[in-house]
Amino acid sequence: MSSIPDEAEITVTGLKKSFRNLVAVDNISFEVNRGEIFGLLGPNGAGKTTTINMICGLLPATGGTIEFHSHKIKKIRSVIGYCPQENICFPKLTCLEQLVFMGNLYGMPPKQCRSIGLGLLEMLGLIDKSKVYARNLSGGMKRRLNIALALIHNPRILILDEPEAGLDPQSRVMVRNFIKSLSKEKTIILTSHNMDEVDRLADRVAIMDYGKIILTDTPYNLKNSIGEGDVLEIEFIENPVGKTDKLISDLRHEYKVIQSGNSLIIIAVHLIDKIHDITSSIKDEGLNIKEIKLRENTLEDVFIHLTGRMLRQ
């Protein structure tokens, strides 16, 4: 993971966005430091895309401020590279043609656009598709081309909305490594509802839900905040509501326990030694176990801990 310089690149203060009666972003504040990868994590509809649209200048804020701290920045759009959630490319242009075209629109000379474009296609594994029309690319290739389009004008700030969405495992690793390599010279904001993606990439994470930022910290600190150790997920055959009150009460003397739907999530150190005792207690309550999973805790556990519900709910 790259080091986090202290100098702030972007400061968001009291940012709000309402669409009539719907408050999409509700008074959020955070800072993104120069050269760091900052993750906005949250379920669909949490307000992540609305937030970055406001940062990109595509959406005016209802309230609050967004400050870009580089004094050299005159035209904000020139220093921001944006890869939207949806794959947006010019279907009747080849990969290289659209990179050159977009570079030209940012005022770059064609030769430079061509050279940078070829470099980006090489790095993103699309060099053999440079003369292929975008409409003929697969979904994963289009995703990579979209990342290239966001970078053609060499922006200082890169904003990636769900960068790994729709990618196959191989492409996912390639894109992840590529984003990591960029973090040395660029400030990156990425949004995702994929905990693993953010956990692996981000230096710091802001967890969003219902338009608000619940917590901001490094992934390590966030995971530690709910306790070091393991997570035991126990899924019941039937809905255990009403039957688990005594069980949870007993277990909470020793562990952190969260009930989520048909599952019970138990967090503690060295849980492997305690599985037998826990399952015996469950059976004593007359509950039937469908599946047991034991793993290290993740950002998803943090989210569940903070919101009391699963990310996908």
Partner 1 sequence: MKLLSIIVKSLKEQWRSFWILLLTLSMGPFFMFVYYLILESSKPHYDVAIINNDKGYITDSESINKGEEYILFFTSSVKDSVNMPFSIKKSSSRSDGLADLKNKKSDAFIIIPEDFSKQLIEHKNSESTGSVEIQFFGDLTSVNYLLSALWANETLNSFIKKSIGSGDFIRISETGIGSSSKISDFDLIVPGILIVSVIMLMFTATIAFVSEVENKTILRLKLSRITTFEFIAGITVVQLIVGIISILLTLITAAFLGFEFQGSAAVFILIAVLTSLSIIAFSLIIAALTKTANEVLVVGNFPLFLFMFFTGAAFPFRSEGLFNLFDYPVSLQGLMSPTHAISALNKIIIMQMKLSDIIPEILALIILTIIYFFIGMILFRKNHMQLK
- Beta carbon of residue 155, minimum distance to partner 1 (angstroms, whole number): 10
Per-residue x/- track, 146-185, partner 1 (CB under 8 A): ---x------------------------------------
Strands 204-209 and 37-41, by their bridges, are parallel
CA distances to 14, 22, 107, 187, 192 from 61, in Å? 10, 14, 28, 22, 21
Q: Which of 14, 91, 139, 308 binds partner 1 (CB under 8 A)?
A: 91
Q: Is 86 in the site for partner 1 (CB under 8 A)?
A: yes
- Could you give the CA distance from residue 175 to residue 299 in angstroms, rounded to a whole number? 21
Cβ distance to partner 1 smaller for residue 80 or 282: 80
Owner of token pair 């490094």: 218
Shortest Cβ 87–partner 1 spacing (Å): 9
Q: Does 57 bind partner 1 (CB under 8 A)?
A: yes
Among 25, 46, 80, 158, binds partner 1 (CB under 8 A): 80
- In this chain, which of 13, 104, 112, 218 binds partner 1, going by CB under 8 A? 104
Return the CA Rg of the chain. 23
Q: How far apart are CA 207 and CA 302, in angstroms?
A: 9
Distance of CA 29 to the CA centre of its chain: 17
Q: What is the 3-state secondary structure (H, E, C) of 53-69?
A: HHHHCCCCCCEEEEEEC
Backbone angles phi, psi at 261, to 5 degrees: 65, -125
Instruction: Report in angstroms how near the CB of residue 75 gets to partner 1 at its nearest.
Output: 6
Q: Does 60 bind partner 1 (CB under 8 A)?
A: yes
Give me the least distance between CB of 150 and partner 1, in Å please: 9
| Residues at the site binding partner 1, with contacts judged by CB under 8 A | 56-60, 75, 77-78, 80, 82, 84, 86, 88-93, 97, 101-102, 104-107, 133, 149
